[in-house]
Chains A and B, each alone.
Chain A
Amino acid sequence: MQPDFSIRLEKRGEASAFFSVFSPLIALVLMLFVGGVLFAIMGHNPLNALYIYFVEPLTDTWSLHELAIKAAPLILIATGLSLCFRSGNWNIGAEGQFIIGGIAGATLPVFFPQYTSFSILPLMIIFGVLGGMAWAFIPAYLKNRFGTNEILTSLMLVYVAELLLDWIVRGPYRNPQGFNFPGSVSFSEWQILPEMLASGRAHYGFLFAILGVIIVWFMLSKTMKGFEIQVIGQAPRAGRFAGFSPKRTTLFVFLLSGAFAGLAGIAEVSGAIQQLRPSISPGYGFTAIIVAFLGRLNPLGIFAAGLVLALSYLGGEAVQISLNMTDKIASVFQGLLLFFVLGCDTLIHHKISFGRSWFFVGKDVSHGSV
């Protein structure tokens, strides 16, 4: 018999209820631990570094506003993505839908800078939403019509969107008075999404995020549409038995998540950046995937997870300033978190079993059968 050094994942009969509930928290703790070890390796006091990363940003009003600004797009995008993921549609391209939403929304202020009235902002938002939907329509259509893999098409469209943005801020959307710097004109007062509170910079994008969470929560738990999405995701055959169309669902969830991403994009451009630049997102569309899974694809969970991941961006900036560390540290923490979330979920439902030879190394393990 051949030596058996295989390592296999075997399904557990019954997943532990305790660990299922607390798996996101366990993932957080593991992330903090490994993060601390990394800080120590790089020569910093891990406790101090973790304090600067995860606690200090929560201690003053200014950074709480920054937290809301960063959490808003994450929550909004992730809420839309949760519908996609629950229905088994893997939209990985929210980053692109976010960017196109930003571009589409910025079109009005860029080409009609004189158009200043209360109606401009709602129009910009509608443009942004439509832009995100249009970009999400492409992978949905390709999947329904030709059976293409939506993971690949939606992801590739991210790079198309990024390059498109990079080109138009140097070309057609460039500010003529901008000394040839890439970037559009700065928006005027009517074109800027206003601040929510007098105390700081946080704009109404955060309110959009809260509304998005409520709408999707209501849809998933109370309406037929939410029921349909879950049936299609869990048992496509039962979905057909119920008379639900998988193609219509694919189109619906892509358009809705595209709309949310586009809304997040225009809210970011109009509220936080207030002009179009070569780069308008620090990877919100990708980080939102982590948010969606950390929040267990549940809108309320996503709200909490969005705040945690927003903190990882803020903390990354904080250690950059205080400890002279690279800005890549935020990506490291986000990667660790996604790794541990998926790892915990996998190990809750599966156990690892090792091939026989791991335990009998050197012994004769051959015994003839047949």
Chain B
Amino acid sequence: MKLSAENTDQPDMLRVSKLTKYYGDFAANQDIDFNIKPGEIHALLGENGAGKSTLVKILYGSLQPTSGDIFWNEKAVETPTPSNARKLGIGMVFQHFSLFEALSVSENIALSLSSEHTIEEITQRATRLSKRYGLPLNPDALVGDLSVGERQRVEIVRCLMQNPDLIILDEPTSVLTPQEAESLFETLDILKKEGRSILFISHRLEEVRRLCDRATILRFGKVIATCEPAAETAASIARMMVGSDVNLVEKEITKSDNQVLLKVSSLSQSAATPFSIPLKDINLSVRAGEILGVAGIAGNGQSELFDAISGETSAIKAENIEIRSKRVGKLSINERRQMGAAFIPEERLGHGAVSDFTLSDNMLLARHQSDAVAFKKLGKIGMIWRDMVDKATKRVCDVMDVRKAEVNPRSTSLSGGNLQKFIIGRELDRQPSILVINQPTWGVDAGAASYIRQAVVNLAKSGSAVLIISQDLDEIFELSDKIAVMFDGHLSQAHDAQSITREEIGLLMAGVENSENKNAA
């Protein structure tokens, strides 16, 4: 019991009553009631599409409710714009940072403030704040040179400059190493002791249980329950979020003498743009039936590695990449697909799928070459055989349980989880012998994520080699047989998933090299 009696009797800092938001006929939020006390860390939980973002946007003033009231310190208020919300004392740190990479830290902070303050004053205040809250920052550093964790600190300091009473944090730990998350929690603790409240949105139930005083759980736009996370288990919270039991992924340990299907050797590559990461002497191999997890914080060369393996950028030498012992470094992505490989990129819209295209067009996008016999006719003219494409699309949607309002909707109209299920199903449908996935369940709700993970494990069980690149350590541990860590364009040795600990992975993620050889598999 973290809530003391006097805490409960305190007046609410924020209370919403019967808050409702309709988009057309669809209720994104319906009759939401909840409250936040001063000095409370309050978790907002729910699957993707449960209405968390809508609720938070209403509180922060970027959306207007259809009906319902917001009370701030027991007074009814309206927040027609984010600047009104900030004036009340509500600050927000978004999941996706809005920082200019080419500007310095203090310039970025200055941009969000009014122009009455000189850059020196801002630098001084930012330095004071960063010391007080344990958020070390160099105000003169260019944001482009900062790590993701440091960028988040910039966002938090920028938010604190407004001296907010309530701070909304949207998935703050999803981009952090375990150690970085730990230091964030210490900061939150200081803020809490000062009587500030925090609305904490996260998918990670363990950290919610540790950190948060109370949690409000949303499902289908309604408040399902308010609970004390410390008194619950992660499984019981997940059950409330999803409405049913979430299956844990079942997997077996694979034998280590299977054939190597995917091999990367001595892959080095210089940075193509000022903001991309050079790859440094990368070596890895994945055997049939094996899942290799590549952990690491985003922006350490994972996307570049994915592009090199998929063939979107061709490797420097043919022998850098081998598929079933054949050198493919110079082959195109479609030639690699025809050898049995399948690729699932991180970005769903704009990379794995075209936003304005229908699902069947997106089916064609990835499989027009590997399924040329089925999908095309009239030889050189390359006429599209729509019936066959539609049939394959329907098959994938059925198998993967893709929920959609029309037979063949545009990909933007699907939720992130459903689109990801489609994109993954599109590749699994081919029974690939090699599957490379970048961030398989990024931004996907718990139900869809466990479905996707099980599908990937099943593919490996049937004898395929799977390479998973993920920032989500829980996912890496849940799925992988072996784990390697990417840091600054360098890939560590693969470690046995059974024997390496989270702390060791965390150190590798932060680039601490000395634990490197201890656990080599």
Contacts and interface: CB of A to CB of B under 8 A. Distances in A.
B236 to A, nearest CB: 37
B383 interface: yes
A242 B116 contact: no
A234 B356 contact: yes
A241 interface: yes
- Highest count of chain A CB atoms <10 Å: which of B310, B332, B365, B369: B365
A147 interface: no
B357 A370 contact: no
Interface string B341-380: 0010101011111111100010011101100000010000
Interface string A217-238: 0000011110100110011011
A195 B352 CA distance: 51
Contact of B117 (A222, A223, A230, A370): A370
B70 interface: no
A328 interface: no
A17 to B, nearest CB: 13
Given A227-B364, A227-B368, A238 B162 contact: no
Contacts of A241: 310, 312, 333, 343, 345, 351-352, 365-366
B161 interface: yes
Contacts of B333: 240-243
B382 A223 contact: yes
A117 interface: no
B98 interface: no
Interface string B149-164: 0000000000001100
A225 B364 CA distance: 12
Contact of A235 (B115, B116, B354): B354
Contacts of B343: 241
A231 B365 CA distance: 8
B384 interface: yes
B344 to A, nearest CB: 10
Contacts of A222: 383-384
Contacts of B113: 369-370
Contacts of B350: 235, 237-238
B87 A369 contact: yes
B83 interface: yes
A1 interface: yes
Interface in B46-99: 83, 86-87
B517 interface: no
A39 to B, nearest CB: 41
A234 B347 contact: no
B365 A224 contact: no
Contact of A225 (B86, B115, B357, B382): B382
A370 B116 contact: yes
Nearest to A370: B113
Contacts of B115: 1-2
B334 interface: yes
A145 interface: no
Contacts of B116: 1, 368, 370
A367 interface: yes
A238 B333 CA distance: 12
- Highest count of chain B CB atoms <10 Å: which of A225, A237, A241: A241
B3 interface: no
Given A238-B350, A370-B116, 16 more contacts: A223-B382, A224-B384, A227-B384, A231-B365, A234-B354, A234-B355, A240-B312, A241-B310, A241-B345, A241-B352, A241-B366, A242-B333, A242-B366, A243-B311, A243-B333, A243-B369
Interface of A: 1-2, 222-225, 227, 230-231, 234-235, 237-238, 240-243, 367-370
